[in-house]
Structure 1
Amino acid sequence: MNLRQHSLAEEFPLVPGLSHLNHAAVGPWPRRSAEVVRRFAEDNAARGSLAYLDWLEVEARLRERLARLVGSPDTSTIALLKNTSEALSVIAHGLPWRAGDNVVGIAQEFPSNRIVWESLAPRGVDWRALDLEQSSDPEGDLCALCDEHTRLIAVSWVQYARGLRLDLARLGAFCRERDILFCVDAIQGLGALPFSLADSGADFVVADGHKWMLGPEGLALLHVAATQRERLELHQFGWHMVADPGDFEQRDWSPAPEARRFECGSPNLLAAHALESSLSLLEEVGTTTIETLIRQRVDWLIAAIDRHGFELLTPRPPERRAGIVTFRVPDVASEHLYPALMRQQVLCAQRGGGIRFSPHFHTTEETLERAMSEVTRLSSTL
């Protein structure tokens, strides 16, 4: 794709004066996705569900794009769920646990990747959490927490607060050697970095579409390896998860053989239209190009943070970070700086003890300059 700046400005017509640095929370839709949703709504208003079969073709294309995004050979491993929390719950409460089993993870996870594993305590399953603040080798320390009763390692590819990126290939190799299942929450990486199922060896991959994939809330990816699909006990049932969902009179039903078995009811076709369109843009640009452009923006921010004497909280090595840059201004409380930045339309987050910026490939240098200028200006007044 020709990444002329005016082309990106056309795809992301953000209001003047807004510095959108919050893709790690909720990203903006590209113009094409907003237009698709507008046309979808108008079609509904004018023709009802007359074009329903066409809508299903869009959903099918979305599954194909998601399969390519994670490196799955086909769409049979892909389920479309409401959000990451639901996807993790399908895994956590579908696996055949035994009392005394344990799950290994990270203490500084987003609550979705902590609460779901803690919820297994009544079944005798222990959640063992690594404190990243006490670790200089997170992969090695995660492996060290495992024993003969460890059934699963469940981690985020990129930590949400300070942006630590884990070496999935190293963790995946460890899991394969010891017959431990591997679950990756990829929500802070998919759409920003290339992902490889072959390299990671992940049995499960989950991710919402509303962050780096630039889609809407309410639609998430669940990848389940073919070897694990029938091992997950089903707890949600309905017309859509059966092998022949078009036969409404069937009495002798069975779950779909593919990952659609985890989708119990009607699909979110409005969100599917938006996310499919957003992923079309990411495919046009290319994941390698996106990774390069995000790294350039992150490097710019880190250089500015250093130049102003701020404290970088995000890991400095490039291989340890993705699109998140979290920093602290000395002698300025982040809980005061954050709302001040938001009032100046610097869209960011207060995370990990500091201010979190998260630019995407389309973020302009002017946006970064304005945001850092506001940080320095406001810091002198707080």
Structure 2
Amino acid sequence: MSTPKTWLHEFPLDPAICYLNHAAVAPWPQRAADAVTRFAQENALQGARDYPRWSKLEKHLRDQLRHLLNAPSPDDIALVKNTSEALSFVAQGIDWQPGDEIITSNQEFPSNRIPWEALESQGVTLKQVALDAADPEQALIDAMTARTRLLTISSVQYASGLRMDLARLGAACRARGVLFCVDAIQSLGALPFDVQKIDCDFAMADGHKWLLGPEGLGVFYCREAVRDQLRLTQHGWHMVQAMGDYDRQQWMPASSARRFEAGSPNTLAQHALSASLELLLEVGMTDVETLLQERVGYLIDQLHRLEGIQLLSPARPERRAGIVTFAIADTDHGRLHRELMQTGVIGAQRGGGIRWSPHFYTAQSTLDQALRQLEKLITGANS
């Protein structure tokens, strides 16, 4: 296992830590940090003199995201604050009727649960389907009824790392006239993602995980054919068709997905995220997936060698992404997580165990160091 030398300089992480937490908040590549430094210096010395250039970067960022999502057009891309905001645009935008039903899983992160639960007062039912069956997609499909308006699912489950067959779900939704919404935060930047192939109506993700960007900026894909079906819940100068014509009294929402962007853009985060996406696009998402799968496979193989380890994540390559979650019998995983953090192993406590999430650039030496620290703690606890 190796990291291409071309990218090594992009991640000058402290050698004392093993960073395995990209499923939570990722470190920035050097080029993103440099972009923010340049932007801050420009602001300090010149203010917004070159704002037109910032607007060009915003346009470029939309096209980068269009490419990563394989959206038909940059007009399908909205730049949002986070995944929760985008999910709320969908949840609050649909004209729900009493008795309508939403299908989801019982493993969703709160961002993909709470916006739908908030519709209960409108008579909308959220049906949470267990994914522990041999065929989780079929379980979701079988849960659909004549009242089902929408299926919302994470592309990869945040705790277990279960990777869903989105194309199969998209085909089932289209055949039944059901809207299809995908929370892509745990796959965009880790795996190739194709909104046209999976035939989804909505997809959203934050920039601060696998996309290696900052918090406070995410992407919302909205299929053109359903864009007018979402009632707008936020309004401002940036979401109108004639943006920049400040004297115009009559206005209409932008025909593009920019209609979901009410006010001033997060120009600082745009500079950072664009630089990070530039790196991912240079590597290529096919190679990112290959390199990440090598690292996840290595972790799984090595964890199986340790006594008492129970793998909670799927082992089959087609069912996994970048998340490896494991447990140890009769172990206080909160305490184990704290002890690992103290040794410099940066992960998370999720799903009843410890979650590790490397990225394509993570060195084998980093994985080996984390495994050694884990083995020491297990051995010490059993001695």
Do the aligned partners of 2:130 and 2:139 also contact (CA within 8 Å) in 1?
no
Q: Is the 8 A contact 2:131 2:139 kept in 1?
A: no
Alpha-carbon distance in structure 2 between the residues aligned to 1:239 and 1:55: 17
The residue type paired with residue 275 of structure 1 is L
User: Counterpart in 1 of 2:206?
Assistant: 208
Separation in 2, partners of 1:55, 1:300: 42
Between the aligned partners of 2:214 and 2:248, the Cα distance in structure 1 is: 35
Residue 307 of structure 1 corresponds to 305
3-state SS of 1:63 partner? helix
Aligned to 1:343: 342
Aligned partner of 1:331 in structure 2 is 330
Q: Secondary structure at the match of 2:116?
A: helix
Please say if residues 160 and 324 of structure 2, whose CA atoms lie closer than 8 Å, have aligned partners that are also in contact. yes
Residue number in structure 2 paired with 1:280: 278
The aligned amino acid for 1:257 is S
**Counterpart mapping for 1:124-143 below 5 A:** 124-133=123-132, 135-143=133-141
Query: Which of 172, 175, 181 is equivalent to 1:174?
Result: 172
The superposition leaves residues 264-318 of structure 1 with CA deviations (integer Å, 9 ceiling, x where unpaired) of 0000010000000000000000000000000000010000111113111001111
In the TM superposition, what is the alpha-carbon distance from 1:131 to its structure 2 partner? Answer: 2.0
Deviation (angstroms), 1:122: 0.5
Task: Give the whole-Å Cα distance in 1 for the aligned partners of 2:217 and 2:15.
Answer: 29
What is the CA-CA distance between 1:329 and the residue it aligns to?
A: 2.1
Partner of 2:223: 225
Q: Which moved more, 1:301-310 or 1:84-93?
A: 301-310
The one-letter code matched in structure 1 to 2:134 is S
Distance of 1:187 and 1:265 partners within structure 2: 23
> Is the 2:94–2:229 Cα contact (8 Å) retained in structure 1?
yes
Task: Give a deviation string over 1:126-163, Cα, whole Å, max 9, x none.
Answer: 00001224x22110000111100000000000000010
- SS of 1:93's partner is helix
Please, which of 173, 191, 194 is the counterpart of residue 193 of structure 1?
Answer: 191
Partner letter of residue 308 of structure 1? L
User: Separation in 2 of the partners of 1:23 and 1:268?
Assistant: 22
Structure 1 Cα separation of the partners of residues 200 and 341 of structure 2: 38
What's 2:162 paired with? 164
Matching of residue 109 in structure 1 with residue 76 in structure 2 = no
Preserved CA contact (<8 Å) 1:105 1:153: yes
Q: Deviations over 1:66-111 (max 9, x none)?
A: 0010101210100001000000000000011111000000111100
**Post-superposition offset of 1:218:** 0.2
Counterpart residue identity of residue 253, structure 1: W
CA distance in 1, matches of 2:378, 2:249: 67
State the distance in 2 between where 1:204 and 1:289 align.
Answer: 26
Counterpart Cα distance in 2 of 1:195 and 1:56: 26
Matched, 1:268 2:266: yes
CA shift digits 1:311-356 (9 cap, x unpaired): 1100111111100000012332211110000111100000011100
1:28 aligns to what?
A: 27
Whole-angstrom CA distance in 1 between matches of 2:113 and 2:264: 28
SS of 1:228 mapped into structure 2: helix
1:3-37 deviation digits (Å, cap 9, x = unpaired): 633x3331000011110000000011000000000
Q: Distance in 2 between matches of 1:4 and 1:381?
A: 36
- Whole-angstrom distance in 1 between the partners of 2:192 and 2:74: 18
Instruction: Give the Cα separation in 2 of the matches to 1:207 and 1:182.
Output: 15
Does the aligned pair in 2 maintain the 1:332–1:379 contact within 8 Å? no
State the AA in 2 paired with 1:107. Answer: N
Instruction: Say if 1:187 and 1:206, in contact at 8 Å, map to a contact too.
Output: yes
Q: Secondary structure at the match of 2:233?
A: coil
Deviations 1:350-375 (A, max 9, x none): 00111000000000000000001111
- RMSD of the TM alignment (CA)? 1.0
- The amino acid across from 1:274 in the alignment is A
Contact 2:3 2:362 in 1 (8 A): no
Output the CA distance in 1 between the equivalents of 2:59 and 2:195: 21
Work out whether residues 157 and 166 of structure 1, in 8 Å CA contact, stay in contact via their aligned partners in 2: yes
User: For residue 379 of structure 2, what is the amino acid of its counterpart?
Assistant: S
| SS of equivalent to 2:21 | coil
**Structure-1 residue corresponding to 2:360:** 361
Which residue of structure 2 aligns with residue 373 of structure 1? 372
Q: Which runs of 4+ in 1 moved over 3 A?
A: 2-5
Looking at structure 1, the residues matched to 82 and 335 of structure 2 have their Cα atoms a distance apart, in angstroms, of 31
3-state SS of the aligned residue for 1:332? coil
Gaps (5+ residues) in structure 2? none
1:299 and 1:349 map into 2 onto residues whose CA distance is 19
CA distance in structure 2 between the partners assigned to 1:365 and 1:330 by the alignment: 27
CA distance in 1: counterparts of 2:306 and 2:3, whole angstroms: 30
Deviation string, structure 1 residues 186-229 (Cα, Å, up to 9, x no partner)? 00000010011222001000000000000000001000000111
Q: Which runs of 5+ in 1 are unaligned?
A: none
1:15 aligned residue: 14
Alignment: residue pair count? 379
Cα distance in 1, alignment partners of residues 202 and 176 from structure 2: 17
Q: TM-score, normalised by structure 2?
A: 0.97
